Structure 1
Amino acid sequence: MFLINGKERDSLAANDRAVQFGDGCFTTARVRNGKVDFLEAHLQRLQTTCHALMIPFADEAPLRDEMLQMAAEKGDGVLKVIITRGNGGRGYSPATCLTPTRILSVSPAPAQYVRWREEGITLVLSPVRLGRNPHLAGLKHLNRLEQVLIRAHLEQTDAQEALVLDSEGWVTECCAANLFWRAGDTVFTPRLTHAGVNGIMRQFCLSLLAQSRYRVVEVNAREEAVQQADEVLLCNVLMPIVPVKAFGEVCYLSHELFEFLAPRCESSD
């Protein structure tokens, strides 16, 4: 089911900027028992990203109502919200785009995440690297061609997720998740000032860790740092926390950090 600007439709104008240029942003939320996890954080993400992209989005009230309505009807699953700059002309200029388009859709929850949480997953190094762009770093914009290619390469392997570097070789994220690794009592996560998505679950985990006994460091690190870790975790709002059991030839046996974060993230919001 799709809701486009408040109406049930399954088609978008061919001149919408999302179609022409990938001009917009999105967020993907977990729906449980008819409610949207981290609702306020998702709305804030959309507002922040629209501001950064200079999209004049001001329809938060109807969007909130639509999200709540669709979640109540779905019960459990995934709610995706897309904001595009709206319809426009052939060229790049956004000057004539005054009315953004909002698109909502619901789908079933990914079944594999339950198994991943119980069994752990394996990582493989992606041959596709992320371009560095500090103006767009951290934002979940619609230009996801890099992730499409990362996923296409990943599907040619037996691994469940891919460790992704940026164009300078720094560990950045995974295809559809953020990354944490632990060495002793220190927890590391990639610094996202030049590439990557600053996910809502990543932010929530950082807030939990800031109040814990763990020391948290955002770093520029090479893949060797991940290989030398005691423990590696992935997170996004749908997982929400998944342990990594192996990266290449390296196996991780500890679940200490996973056991700290997983129940807190499951009971969040």
Structure 2
Amino acid sequence: MMWVNGVKQGVVAASDRAVQFGDGCFTTARIRSGEIELFPAHIARLQQGCERLLITGVDWELLGQEMIRAAADCDDGVLKTIVTRGSGGRGYSAAGCAAPTRIVSVSAYPAHYHALRESGARLALSPIQLGKNPLLAGIKHLNRLEQVLIRTRLEQTGADEALVLDTDGMLVECCAANFFWRTGEQVFTPDLSDSGVNGIQRQRVMRQIADLGFTLSEVRAGVEVLAEADEVLITNALMPVLPVRQIEAWHFSSRRLFRLLNPH
């Protein structure tokens, strides 16, 4: 189901800047029993994305109400919310854009995440590398062509997720998840200053790790550091945390941190 500017429909104007330029941002949230998990954080993410993209005029109260209404009848699903700059302007100019476009949709929850919590995920090293772009790093903007290519290559491997490097060969993230590894009492996650998405669940897990007494570091590191890792985890708002059992020739059996983050 999809709503565009509060109307139940699946049509967006061809002149919308999301279509023309990928000019907008989005967030994806878990729905449980009609409630949006981490709802304030998802609104804040959209607001931060719009601020970075210089998109103004969003009616945040109205959008929040539309998100809540869309989720209300869903027992277990996924809510995706997109904000675009809207239609207007000529060429790249944003002059003349009357109002942002709000797109809210609900879909089924990916059932394979339940199984992966038990078995652990297998990651394949992606041949697609992320370009470095500090201006857009961290936010979930609509320009996702790198992820489309990463996913296309991933589907040729049979792995559950892709491990993605930047053009300097540094660890960044997965196709649709953030990435952590533990070596002893130290936990590491890639520095996302130049590329990648600073996920809501990533931020939450970083706070939890600090509370659990581990040393947490955001680092620029190559894939070779995983040879010394005891445990690897991936996170996103839907998973929300999954253990990793294998990356290429490396195998990981420890679930110590995973169990501490998932006590039930």
> Which TM-score band (shorter chain)?
over 0.9
Q: Which residue of 1 is the match for residue 154 of structure 2?
A: 154
**Runs of at least 4 residues off by over 3 Å:** none
TM-score (norm 2): 0.98
Question: Aligned-pair distance for 1:206?
Answer: 0.7
- Cα separation, 2, equivalents of 1:168 and 1:95: 37
- Three-state SS of the structure 2 residue aligned to 1:20 is helix
Amino acid at match of 1:92: Y
**What is the rounded CA distance, in whole Å, between the counterparts of 2:56 and 2:75 in structure 1?**
31
Name the structure 1 match of 2:14: 14
Corresponding residue for 2:115? 115
Deviation string 1:147-184 (CA, Å, 9 cap, x unpaired) is: 00000000000211111001111100000000000000
Q: Secondary structure at the match of 1:149?
A: helix
Aligned-partner Cα distance in 2 for 1:226–1:178: 15
CA distance in structure 1 between the aligned counterparts of 2:45 and 2:201, rounded to whole angstroms: 12
Deviation at 1:90, TM superposition (A): 4.2
Structure 1 gap ranges (5+): 265-269
Other-structure match for 1:192 = 192
TM-score (norm 1): 0.96
Q: What is residue 33 of structure 1 aligned with on the other side?
A: 33
Offset of residue 226 of structure 1: 2.1
Partner of residue 167, structure 1: 167
Quote the offset at 1:67 in angstroms. Answer: 1.0
Q: How many Å apart are 1:88 and its aligned residue?
A: 2.0
Pair 1:49 & 2:52 matched: no
SS at match of 1:136: coil
Using the TM superposition, give the Cα deviation of residue 96 of structure 1 relative to its aligned residue in structure 2, in angstroms.
Answer: 1.3
AA at the equivalent of 2:186: T
- For the residue of structure 1 that corresponds to 2:66, the secondary structure is helix
SS in 2 for 1:224: helix
Distance in 2 between the 1:195 and 1:145 partners?
A: 14
- 1:222 matched residue in structure 2: 222
Offset at residue 71 of structure 1 (A): 1.1
2:58 touches 2:99 (CA, 8 Å); kept in 1? no
**Matched residues in 1 for 2:65 and 2:227: separation?**
45
What code does the residue aligned with 1:234 have? I
Answer whether contact 2:89 2:95 (CA < 8 A) is retained. Answer: no
Quote the residue 2:206 is aligned against: 206
Q: Does residue 1:86 correspond to 2:86, yes or no?
A: yes
Aligned residue identity for 1:220: R
Query: 1:242 aligns to what?
Result: 242
After superposition, the C-alpha distances for 1:204-233 in whole angstroms (9 at most, x for unaligned) are 001111212101000001001123210000
Amino acid at match of 2:142: L
Instruction: Check 1:57–1:29 CA distance in 2 against 1; reply closer, same or farther (3 A cut).
Output: farther
- C-alpha deviation, 1:249, in angstroms: 1.0
Do the aligned partners of 1:56 and 1:98 also contact (CA within 8 Å) in 2? no
Identity %: 55
Residue-pair matches, total: 264
